[in-house]
Amino acid sequence: MRIPLSGPDIDERDIEAVTQVLRTPRLSIGPRIEEFESSLARYVDAAHAVAVNSGTSGLHLCIRALGIRDGDEVILPSFTFIAAANAVRYEKAVPVFVDVAPDTLNLNPEKVEAAITPRTRAILVVHTFGCPAPMGDILDIAQRHGLRVIEDACEAIGAEWRGRKVGPLGDAGVFAFYPNKQITTGEGGAIVTQNPEIAARCKKLRNHGRGESDEWFAHSELGYNYRISEINCALGSAKLKRIECILERREAIARAYHERLSGNPGLRLPVITMPGDRISWFVYVIRLSGEFSRLHRDWIVKEMASHGIGCGRYFAPIHLQPAYSDRAKSRLTDLPVTEWNADRTIALPFFNRIEDSEIDEVSAVLKQTIECACFL
């Protein structure tokens, strides 16, 4: 694609940070992971951070560290990346899919509360596309029903709810640093929490179940190889040093799209501001209006690609994925908002180094393509 959907932002400072690690004998479990964890914890105002090799690994460790097990229910949206539900199923727990709000596409608190049963143990709340979820309502529901709260903030580093960074607001939160994220470590993720016991358990589990006081081959419980390398962490630390500049640039890109696409009756644009909160722009996702269908959306994405413009379809609902066709492995509530919106979403090219001229081109081609789609 001439204008890709996403692309990593790597500069000379990032390259130098990585090469410095390569000049040392410590490529794993060394000072860089400690530096990255410390910097991340400070940035989001968490007591603890535990770096791991992916956001998915982080979600899995949170599920396990909170004692969620076979038959327990975890409430989460179906409108999100499949890793959230997979992490629940890794422990043989039951994902319970509830609907989202039509404006932010985040969990609808009323639907969450209606889905609670005696088997419910946790709420896995996703900050969709970097838009902070209604944490006040979610935390209140969790407290009244004795539930744990895990924040899937994999798309939302730097987002704020009521002036507080998302991630450590619940029992634990997870960030991801895949190359399409706001900052990247290549592959990687991190758990943040205010709870020292959760942090210690996650550190133990990420390294084959070996505690900090255990001998080299002493493994006190079943664990995993979810470690992240010193190279990844060096890149992450370098990125964190300029994260505010990155977030400001991404917000400017979102506003540029908003300005160019406003007033088009065929489009519903994402929420651009949230009073009292801060959006961390992961992607810029537009929705087609009600006169269009999934067939129109797919045709538009294909036409954009024919012009060398990469677009994405965020998200295919998890409950409609082949891996979730066995209804005994999950529980559904009514999901009309999820299904309607999922058929009409289009993610536009969105990355730190996109040029204004490219935003102009994407917007112009999109508007022309939508006009043509009306005649399908």
Out of 111, 165, 181, 204, the active site residue is 181
Annotate 123-179 with DSSP letters as a single string.
Answer: EEEE-GGGPPP-HHHHHHHHHHHT-EEEEE-TT-TT-EETTEESSSSSSEEEEE--T
- Most distant pair of Cα atoms in the chain: their distance: 69
Residue 107, classed as helix, strand or coil, is strand
Q: Between vectors from CA 182 to CA 177 and to CA 188, what angle results, nearest 5°? A: 5
181 belongs to the catalytic site: yes
| β-bridge pairing 160-161 and 148-152 | unpaired
- In terms of Cβ atoms closer than 10 Å to its own Cβ (0-12, 13-18, 19+), residue 144 is exposed
Positive or negative, the CA dihedral 194, 198, 204, 205 is: negative
Catalytic residues: 181
